[in-house]
Structure 1
Amino acid sequence: MELPQRVLVVGMARSGTAAADALEAQGVEVVRVDRKLGNDGDLSLLESVGLVVKSPGVPGENPLVVAARGRAVPVWSEVELGYRLLDEPVLLGITGTNGKTTTSELLGAIFRAAGRDVVVAGNVGSPLTAARRADWVVCELSSFQLEDIHELGCRVAVLLNLEPDHLDRHGAFDAYRDAKLRIFERADLAVVPRGLGLPGIEFAADDPLPAEPRIPGAHNRENAAAATAAARAAGVDDEAIAEGLRTFPGVPHRLEPVRELRGVRYVNDSKATNTAAARRGAAAFDAPLHLILGGSLKGEDFGAFARDVAPRVRRAYLVGQAADELARALDAAGVPYERSGDLAGAVQAAAAAAERGEVVLLSPACASYDQFENFERRGEEFRRLVENLS
């Protein structure tokens, strides 16, 4: 593909750094911009720039992005650049509010069981701009990544579910939904939840499957049904699908068992960064829960969530910025709680209170950015704290 001589990349986290590196490997002059570099408001950097590549964490209101659009400079997401650099790969795209990473990795396992040459990339694993060439690319696509696609098209496009999330960024559910549904633009085949009223191949949690999934939870059976429908649409036989379902162990920070100590199970579900995911996490257990909640706010209302989890929760432990809003919702739902302040305090308090046969679950229903770099760091810290319990 032909690229401009000078490209500005906004946001130097994982995806932006990969995009900048990929462009430089093509001989392009790259202007790297990031808030940490102190140059994200310097409009002079747009001089002679023929393209802006925007990392998913960078909002559309960023001054350089706004100025670029005003000057008719194209703005691409990192996945758009990756798609073009890979010469329009055969893409199996996965989006949805929850379950994207699990379903993407499960599909990778299914394709490998079928002997297919596959790479899993996008919002999970390797950024698309750093992905190797393969016969199939399973690509996790967030709403942030889909905002600025132009030519990216999927052979098979999957929508797992659609519930309010990232309202702090998108402003309203309609804008969030519209970003998600862009995955179907230029898609050959669509895989959609039954009952959502969208055209395509439908799936549901109660679908007959070639095998029962190894990963627990009703929500993961729904993920398995989506993966089965997508794999079949891509021409994978049921024998390989069954092998993938039976052997795939899940991914870190999604209902990840950490340890059992004195009959109490400790489970890391740090990826539950919204109420829908935390609701699913809580529903995966029949045992009484000591539920660690909180983090940075995303514009969600916690009222319905608190009422839904109340019958399962023996006690909640609140951390971070969202503690006040969570406390109000838990008070109204009659759920006992304490304010732990941070994760270390929550783990200690939960460990002291939990009894044999109960579960201490980190399923925060919030983002992590008030106290951690990302949900992975939060989950790793939970793991470390639990492993140090004696």
Structure 2
Amino acid sequence: MSGTPRRQLSVPAPEPARSGRPPLPPGPYLVVGLGRSGRAVAELLSQHDRVVAYDANPALAGVDTLKSRAEVHLGGDGRELLVGVRTVVKSPGVPREAPVVVEALRSGRTVIGELEVAWRLLPNECWAVTGTNGKTTTVELLGAILRAAGREVVTAGNVGRPLAALVGRIGPETTLVVEASSFQIEDTIAFCPDCAVLLNLGVDHLDRHGTVEAYHRAKLRLFEHQEPSAVAVAPVGVAVPGGGRRIAFGPAGSGAELEFSEEGLCWCGEPLVARSGIRLRGQHNLENAAAAAAAALACGVSAEPLRTALASFKGVPHRLEEVARIGGVLFVNDSKATNVESTVRALEAFPDGGLHLIAGGRPKGGGFRALRPLVAERCRAVYAVGEASEELVSDLSDCVPVERCGTLERALERAVARARPGETVLLSPACASFDQFRDFEARGERFKALVRRLSASDGAVA
């Protein structure tokens, strides 16, 4: 594709953004779960009606500032707090099986999530991205594309900044690009993004959803309420609900509007950008770039700013993030790989092998046998940490040596002892972080700090 024409491609005229939203459900409100999104929505709703804020953790920190705006309760199962409450706002980390949520549903109260509460109060054009893997990268890439096109944009949602924190703080001309997890989507009632993007449907969160089918249904709810003025982007061959205008992406020859191959991207049969013009590493990121390009072009972004963003966007923290090269060994932080499929994609990004894989944490169900082919082909050893250690040993030890290391510190120490110049130490856990860390960011930051300590002692530049 070295001769890719540098011209603006023909794209459909964008429909005007939706500005209408359903009203807030009635208060008083009970907010269940006081993490980042719970605290943000409790503060927001306190401007509208009485708010009771509850978390099952009796020792939860960080809620003191909320006490001036809401009646805060910690510990217990929370069912007694439903008295006088008309709407329950559930944080995504709280399962629907929690006693207070079960009782709220049984009694006919409205149960809704922070994502939709905030969306109802924001008139902005809203794009939403979901999928098993690649959400954060694609959200931030879409943000980069829209900025290159001269638009004001804010990324939020599961990517880290609660949508509720933006109400009253951004102008109506700002486009929202939202990362939407299955936990957030299952708590929606009328959420209707102007552009909805499904990246892929794998296996994840079986510990929460129970079955693959239930997990996939939660993802596809993102499209249910779209109208013909909206855009629905999905992999070719995947049927999505709702009335949005379908745009497909898929491999070359699939007949999708946006096709990808090792040569690059094509839009409606015409070359768009060569693979060398996409900075992100790995086949999975080629697919993420295809999904982002399909969404942007379908919504009226021209080809030039799209090419500019694809050429300059280097990814997000904790996703195949190159931390340092020490003594010829590359250290890569992929802490955001919280499921097996994501780790498969990380391993695929290193075709030359020589990998020392640090994996483990809190498993999500389904085991690690799907890693076996790539581990056998590309890894010299696996260093198991956290609650998943025994399962990793059971599933992978006949492929390569698997060491029980317990902690991230010990795993890195053992990997450094084994690794040779030209090889890579890769943190790609295939597990949640909650057995030893607050979240995947904390796990990734700890890995980077440990590597930089090595780098300083080695004299290398991180």
Where does residue 8 of structure 1 map in the other structure?
A: 30
The equivalent residue for 2:200 is 161
Q: What letter is aligned with 1:39?
A: G
Give deviations 1:189-218, integer Å, cap 9, x for gaps: 211112435582111342334353212111
SS in 2 for 1:321: helix
Q: Which residue identity lines up with residue 34 of structure 1 in the other structure? A: D
**1:325 aligned to 2:391?**
yes
Structure 2 counterpart of 1:98, one-letter code: N
TM-score (norm 2): 0.81
Rounded to whole Å, the distance in 1 between the matches of 2:100 and 2:357 is 41
Residue 376 (structure 1) aligns with: 441
Note the C-alpha offset of 1:182.
0.3
Task: State the match for 2:112 in structure 1.
Answer: 76
Matched, 1:301 2:367: yes
What is aligned with 1:45? 81
Q: CA RMSD in A?
A: 1.5
Candidates 142, 146, 151, aligned match of 1:116: 151
CA drift of 1:250 comes to 0.8
CA distance in 1, matches of 2:127, 2:340: 27
Select which of 334, 348, 353 maps to 2:413.
348
Q: Is the 8 A contact 1:294 1:364 kept in 2?
A: yes
1:310 to 355, 369, 376: 376
How far apart are the structure 1 equivalents of 2:160 and 2:393?
35
User: Which AA in structure 1 matches 2:52?
Assistant: V
* Deviation at residue 14 of structure 1 after TM alignment: 0.8
CA contact (8 A) 1:3 1:28 kept: no
Structure 1: how far apart are the matches of 2:443 and 2:24? 41
Q: Distance in 2 between matches of 1:257 and 1:40?
A: 43
Shift in CA distance, 197/72, structure 1 to aligned 2, threshold 3 Å: closer
Tell me which amino acid in the other structure corresponds to 2:385: V
Residues 1:124 and 1:134: Cα distance change in structure 2 (over 3 Å): farther
Q: Using structure 1 for the length normalisation, give the TM-score.
A: 0.96
Find the aligned partners of 1:4 and 1:197 in 2 and give their Cα distance.
35
2:370 is paired with a residue of what secondary structure? helix
Secondary structure of the structure 2 residue equivalent to 1:311: helix
1:34 alignment counterpart: 55
- The correspondence of residues 96-245 of structure 1 with structure 2, limited to 5 A, is 96-131=131-166, 132-135=170-173, 136-187=175-226, 188-198=230-240, 200-204=246-250, 205-206=260-261, 207-208=265-266, 209-210=272-273, 212-245=277-310
Match of 2:156, SS state, is strand
Q: Deviations over 1:108-150 (max 9, x none)?
A: 0100110112111111132111123443211110000001111
2:314 is aligned, of 249, 253, 259, to: 249
Give yes or no for contact 2:127–2:193 (8 Å, CA) kept in 1. yes
**Do the aligned residues in 2 keep the contact of 1:79 with 1:128 (CA within 8 Å)?**
yes
- Give secondary structure in 1 for the equivalent of 2:127: strand
Quote the Cα distance in structure 1 between the aligned partners of 2:200 and 2:355.
26
What's 2:98 paired with?
62
SS in 2 for 1:201: strand
Task: Decide which moves more: 63-72 or 170-179.
Answer: 63-72
Specify every segment of 5 or more residues in structure 2 that has no aligned partner in the other structure, as ranges.
1-22, 59-73, 251-259, 267-271, 458-462
**Structure 1 residue ranges without an equivalent (≥5):** none
- Aligned pair count reads 387
| Alignment match of 2:331 (pick from 241, 266, 275) | 266
For the 8 Å contact 1:86–1:133, the answer to whether it is kept is no
Q: Is the 8 A contact 1:33 1:40 kept in 2?
A: no
Separation in structure 1 between the aligned mates of residue 186 and residue 25 of structure 2, nearest angstrom = 21
* Deviation digits for residues 256-290 of structure 1 (CA, Å, limit 9, x no counterpart): 01100000000000000111100111111124100
Deviation of 1:5 after TM superposition, in Å, equals 3.8
| More moved, 195-204 vs 218-227 | 195-204
- Asked if structure 2 preserves the Cα contact closer than 8 Å seen for 1:210 and 1:239, the reply is no
Contact kept, 8 Å, 2:27 with 2:87, in 1: the verdict is: no
